[in-house]
């Protein structure tokens, strides 16, 4: 059986009593720059070889993907799968391909070998330049808060970046290993986005998945940095669950997800209160939304396009928030706060919000981190939150701010 057909027929979660030793980590170990790697809580994918790119034209993205998958099938490819990245900006070209060869394994978390330590990153004399600087970012937050108090909009997500330059070529396989082994329950990816460019990261947030008629979305909004002190870490988690500011921010995102999915579902379950999820560096408010799809013709990618961008990465109202982002952020987000994932010709797939990531090119990395700004936001706290989010990637490099 081809590995591509394994994706099409769904790769089940591994039986915890009979873990597939080495199956997932072998794909992680096999990654080389130029490959397409994606690990989710359901499966691990490694694509390699000549690819059939999804074209960039005036057609809706879902239509272009369906056509490309159909062309691959007509050319004799069994159960083709599309994999790649979608940018934050509507209208910007996506980096989606139907690869010629695809290997599939159970999730990384089911592989006992994922617990083995990975070697420390090589010593690098990183030159780090913040864009914008923390003071300028804080001023942007203050300006946005002032505009919200004037009633112009209710939320915006503002990001900042770190540009890291190394004297040596980047070691992407080691970065990927460290990201994946630190948070094996998350969504780890390394995807080419252009000549010599790679989008690499470890996101905690599922935008939407579809398996048959079942739909799942897991919006995250409202967060706080973790502490290495256990008692303080628990205190921060409990405080987040009671924070009026964060609960409001989260409710705005969950309502937007509900409104976007409702037209496509016959049933939709939205819990009344969020729970918590954690990464190695952050606590997040989390709500798992589940539904039953009304039409089998609605693909996971079509649902992702209907949801993107949620207020968790853009703001609300969306049009105003996009304008504020364009006016405030002194850089192009590119694929940051876009979507990464996979989909097949049956419409199944998993699409993930592109956060905790960097764009790599030659000897340079651009790291991204954002924070949701609402009327109760404080510039110092939001600047600290973005610094904490940078830690996910900085730890993979052995670098510090």
**What are the tokens at 378?**
């404080």
Q: What is the DSSP letter of 158?
A: E
pLDDT digits (tens, 9 = 90+) for 318-358: 999 999 999 999 999 999 999 999 999 999 999 999 999 99
214-258 pLDDT, tens per residue? Answer: 999 999 999 999 999 999 999 999 999 999 999 998 999 999 999
CA atoms within 13 A of residue 32's CA, in its CB half-sphere: 3
Catalytic residues: 155, 205
First to last CA, the chain: 48
Among candidate residues 236, 219, 217, the one with its CA nearest the CA of residue 227: 236
- Listed residue (200, 165, 195, 180) closest to 335, CA to CA: 200
* pLDDT for residue 396: 81
The torsion region of residue 295 among left (phi > 0), alpha (psi -120 to 50) and beta comes to beta
Q: What CA–CA distances, in Å, run from 192 to 74, 80, 189, 247, 388?
A: 26, 19, 10, 36, 26
Q: What is the pLDDT of residue 95?
A: 97
3-state secondary structure 251-298: HHHHHHHHHHHHHHEEEEECCCCCEEEECCCEEEEECCEEEEECCCCC
Q: Which two tokens stand for residue 125?
A: 């004399």
Q: How high is the pLDDT of residue 354?
A: 97
Output the pLDDT for position 86. Answer: 98
Q: What span, in angstroms and rounded, lies between the C-alpha atoms of 62 and 69?
A: 11
How far from 319 is each of 23, 153, 261, 373, CA to CA, in Å? 45, 10, 19, 16
Low-confidence ranges of the chain (pLDDT < 70): 1-20, 120-124, 400-401
How far is it, in rounded angstroms, from Cα 364 to Cα 358? 10
């Amino acid at each position: 059986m081809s590995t591509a057909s394994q994706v099409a027929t769904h790769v089940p979660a591994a039986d915890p009593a009979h873990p597939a030793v080495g199956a997932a980590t072998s794909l992680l170990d096999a990654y080389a720059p130029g490959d397409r790697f994606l690990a989710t809580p359901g499966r691990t994918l490694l694509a390699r070889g000549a690819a059939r790119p999804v074209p960039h034209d005036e057609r809706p993205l879902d239509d272009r993907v369906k056509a490309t998958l159909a062309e691959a099938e007509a050319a004799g490819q069994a159960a083709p799968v599309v994999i790649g990245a979608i940018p934050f900006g509507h209208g910007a070209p996506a980096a989606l391909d139907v690869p010629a060869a695809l290997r599939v394994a159970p999730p990384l978390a089911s592989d006992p070998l994922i617990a083995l330590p990975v070697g420390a990153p090589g010593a690098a004399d990183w030159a780090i330049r913040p864009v914008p600087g923390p003071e300028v970012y804080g001023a942007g937050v203050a300006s946005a808060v002032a505009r919200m108090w004037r009633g112009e909009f209710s939320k915006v997500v503002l990001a900042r970046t770190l540009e890291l330059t190394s004297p040596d070529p980047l070691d992407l396989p080691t970065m990927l290993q460290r990201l994946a082994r630190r948070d094996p329950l998350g969504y780890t990816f390394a995807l080419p986005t252009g000549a010599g460019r790679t989008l690499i990261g470890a996101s905690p947030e599922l935008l939407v998945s579809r398996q048959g008629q079942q739909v799942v979305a897991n919006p995250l909004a409202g967060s706080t940095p973790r502490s290495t002190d256990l008692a303080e870490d628990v205190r921060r988690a409990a405080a987040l669950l009671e924070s009026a500011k964060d609960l409001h921010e989260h409710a705005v995102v969950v309502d937007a997800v509900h409104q976007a999915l409702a037209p496509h579902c016959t049933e939709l379950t939205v819990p009344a209160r969020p729970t918590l999820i954690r990464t190695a560096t952050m606590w997040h408010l989390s709500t798992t939304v589940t539904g039953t799809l009304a039409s089998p013709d609605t693909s996971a990618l079509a649902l992702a396009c209907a949801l993107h961008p949620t207020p968790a990465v853009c703001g609300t109202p969306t049009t105003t928030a996009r304008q504020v982002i364009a006016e405030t952020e002194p850089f192009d987000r590119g694929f940051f706060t876009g979507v990464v994932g996979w989909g097949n010709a049956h419409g199944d797939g998993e699409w993930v919000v592109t956060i905790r990531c960097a764009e790599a090119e030659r000897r340079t990395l651009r790291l991204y981190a954002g924070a949701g700004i609402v009327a109760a936001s404080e510039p110092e706290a939001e600047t600290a939150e973005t610094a904490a989010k940078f830690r996910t990637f900085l730890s993979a490099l052995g670098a510090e701010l």
